[in-house]
Structure 1
Amino acid sequence: MKKLYGVTTAMITPMYENGEINLEGTKELTNFLIDKGVDCLYPLGTTGEMFKLSVSERKRVAEAVIQTANNRVNVFIHVGAMNQRDTIDLAQHAYEAGADGIGVVTPAFFSANDYEIEEYYATVSKKLPSDFPIYLYSIPQLSGNELSIPVVKKLVEKYENIIGIKYSYPDFVMLKDYLAVGNDGFSALTGADSLFLPALALGCDGVVSGVSCVFPEPFVEIYKAYQNKELDRARELQRHADKLITLLKGGSNMSYFKKAIEYRGIQAGSVKAPQLDIGSQEEKELIEKLDGWKLNIPLVIR
């Protein structure tokens, strides 16, 4: 089965000022990221403002990314929703639309115990072919629900299509324990951009990175350097990436991502309410800082 690896870019969802999705911008961004050398695409997750979009909007964005990518890179659609019915609907749509796999965030906001979380994923798994890859997605600081090691172990043992996890909390002990689940083929990726290189050293397959949606180049170069055993260069590039992560607020305000993507010439537009776009002065300061960052990164940004 296909999997996520290397630089997996968590895509923003381009929108117009009125909050409507921008499918042309989505296609433009898809081509931009593939041309820059990312390994996989992961639209409609946290970076893609998932819960703020309707099921219909999410389906149209998924189709645009899958069709534009046209098998050039692996495309895993995030399908987790606020209720199980919508999650299954989106999961089945992703499969029918030609996605290479899906990601599914834990139940969110409302507390769910281990048994409920296990049943949730089991139900999704059984609604899909056994050879269609599913990644669990844990982001407990936002969802409010943790994916425990025993639950992950049970799911991996019982369901062939559950092949990996995206873990978006900077806890290396937990990440290590996820890696030890099941057999050697279990796939784990960090969702913390600043931990890309350390996660590779730990044995992870890569990063699911929101910041790489804006500047994929340093992340692509980190992965190349690591594969080539050029660890000093990889560490230097990670330090430069860390500065960029700080400038972009680490994805805590998606308007920063969208303004920075437009700085690169790609249609990105506005964030969906109730979040608001940053003001003109804040945007000006961001652009000045990005100009300064680009001057200091060695031979990566063209």
Structure 2
Amino acid sequence: MAKFTIKDIKGVIPALMTAFDEHEEVYEKGIRELVDHLMNEGVEGFYLTGSTGEGFLMNEAERKQVVEIVIDEVKGRVPVIVHVGAISTKISIELAEHAEKMGADAISSVPPFYWRFSPDHIYNYYKDISESVDIPMIVYNVPLAGIMGFDLIKRLASIEKVEGIKFTATSHHEISMIKKEVGQDFMIYSGADEMAVSGLINGADGIIGSFYNLMPEMFIKINELVKKDNVTEAMAVQKDAIDLIMYSVQKDYYSVMKVALKWMGVDAGYVRRPFINIQGQEEEALKEGFKALKKAGNIKDVKFLDAL
């Protein structure tokens, strides 16, 4: 049974990575270790089996397994959102029903993709999934699956259980527009790591992102500074985060984050093919690159850098 309402889901929420072992199997020990590490860092929720969680590289049974492990490890301490997106509405409903049964607090989904689905297709997709469960749906506006227009977002918000949106588009002026036209109770989560400050100052209720797995302390600090209206200092932290992100995305950045967590003693496992694991000389070169960034930018109080 869900323990939190949609209004409780706010703050800094990692889009949780999924740990795999060296044979590409779901790695329960690594998942639990990563969850505990992030809980100790002070994150305020988790977003499971999305893009960062390599959700589309898993079958339905594996996605359910990850949900079960994480919810068991969290033990109701923070809200859990489960991404149930699939091209097939039937599969998404199966994943949504399982998430609710396991005790998830909300579900989320990208719109159906690959084929050129119309606004009516997308509306029906979210309506059908939302009607299959009693927990809130958070729709997902993301370039990888196709950015939805403002009119479609408003239409989706009219569905009874659609109570929020993960907004990874860069048109952040729309965040305040959504709040104004849909209502202040409609929850908005900024999903662009590089634009966390922008999302928050435009009215986002929380931030959901990939790099919160690796450097949650930076984004927790950003969130706290914005709450105190100290935008100048928040932007300084954001700039350092952007430098680290831009360096990381030159490679398979899920692999970068997993190997960098290892430097701190957190076993987050491996990535699944076709992503490439960073090892050997490439790992040493990665370390040297991060050391150079730290020195050049005088970046302080970032734990994975301090572990080098």
TM-score w.r.t. length of structure 2: 0.90
> Is 1:164 equivalent to 2:169 in the alignment?
no
| Equivalent residue for 2:138, pick from 108, 111, 135 | 135
> Is 1:101 equivalent to 2:106 in the alignment?
yes
Shift of 1:272: 1.1
> Is 1:150 equivalent to 2:155 in the alignment?
no
**Which residue does the alignment assign to 1:245?**
245
Tell me the distance in 1 between the aligned counterparts of 2:101 and 2:206. 27
Shift of 1:23: 0.9
Shift of 1:69: 0.9
Determine helix, strand or coil for the equivalent of 2:42: coil
* Conservation of the 8 A alpha-carbon contact between 1:51 and 1:82: no
Tell me the distance in 2 between the aligned counterparts of 1:260 and 1:179. 37
| Equivalent residue for 1:11, pick from 1, 13, 16 | 16
**Which residue does the alignment assign to 2:71?**
66
Tell me the distance in 1 between the aligned counterparts of 2:275 and 2:180. 38
- Per-residue CA deviations over 1:247-300 (Å, capped at 9, x if unaligned) read 221886422222122222211222112222235332212222334555633345
**Cα separation, partners in 2 of 1:251 and 1:179, compared to 1, 3 Å:** farther
Tell me the distance in 1 between the aligned counterparts of 2:174 and 2:114. 21
* Conservation of the 8 A alpha-carbon contact between 2:106 and 2:136: yes
> Is 1:278 equivalent to 2:282 in the alignment?
no
Determine helix, strand or coil for the equivalent of 2:196: helix
> Is 1:86 equivalent to 2:91 in the alignment?
yes
**Which residue does the alignment assign to 1:2?**
6
> Is 1:116 equivalent to 2:125 in the alignment?
no
* Conservation of the 8 A alpha-carbon contact between 2:130 and 2:136: no
Tell me the distance in 1 between the aligned counterparts of 2:44 and 2:184. 21
Determine helix, strand or coil for the equivalent of 1:188: strand
Tell me the distance in 2 between the aligned counterparts of 1:203 and 1:27. 32
| Equivalent residue for 1:36, pick from 34, 41, 60 | 41
Tell me the distance in 2 between the aligned counterparts of 1:19 and 1:156. 38
**Which residue does the alignment assign to 1:288?**
288
Q: Which amino acid aligns with 1:151?
A: L
* Conservation of the 8 A alpha-carbon contact between 2:32 and 2:70: yes
- Per-residue CA deviations over 1:218-259 (Å, capped at 9, x if unaligned) read 111111111122333212211111112112218864222221
**Cα separation, partners in 2 of 1:216 and 1:237, compared to 1, 3 Å:** same
Q: Which amino acid aligns with 1:40?
A: G
Which sits farther off after the overlay, 247-256 or 40-49?
247-256
Q: Which amino acid aligns with 1:206?
A: G
Which sits farther off after the overlay, 50-59 or 4-13?
4-13
Within 5 Å, give how 1:142-221 maps onto structure 2.
Answer: 142-143=144-145, 145-159=146-160, 161-221=161-221
List gaps (5 residues or longer) in structure 1.
none
> Is 1:297 equivalent to 2:283 in the alignment?
no
**Cα separation, partners in 2 of 1:226 and 1:48, compared to 1, 3 Å:** same
Identity %: 31
**Cα separation, partners in 2 of 1:251 and 1:162, compared to 1, 3 Å:** farther
**Cα separation, partners in 2 of 1:251 and 1:91, compared to 1, 3 Å:** farther
* Conservation of the 8 A alpha-carbon contact between 1:221 and 1:300: no
Q: Which 4+ stretches in 1 moved above 6 angstroms? A: none
* Conservation of the 8 A alpha-carbon contact between 2:179 and 2:186: yes
List gaps (5 residues or longer) in structure 2.
none
Shift of 1:214: 0.8
TM-score w.r.t. length of structure 1: 0.91
* Conservation of the 8 A alpha-carbon contact between 2:222 and 2:237: yes
Determine helix, strand or coil for the equivalent of 2:80: strand
**Cα separation, partners in 2 of 1:70 and 1:45, compared to 1, 3 Å:** same
Tell me the distance in 1 between the aligned counterparts of 2:152 and 2:251. 28
Determine helix, strand or coil for the equivalent of 1:135: strand
Which sits farther off after the overlay, 262-271 or 66-75?
262-271
**Cα separation, partners in 2 of 1:100 and 1:294, compared to 1, 3 Å:** farther
**Cα separation, partners in 2 of 1:110 and 1:56, compared to 1, 3 Å:** same
* Conservation of the 8 A alpha-carbon contact between 1:210 and 1:251: no
Shift of 1:64: 1.0
**Cα separation, partners in 2 of 1:6 and 1:123, compared to 1, 3 Å:** same
* Conservation of the 8 A alpha-carbon contact between 2:244 and 2:293: yes
Give the alignment's Cα RMSD to 1 decimal: 2.0
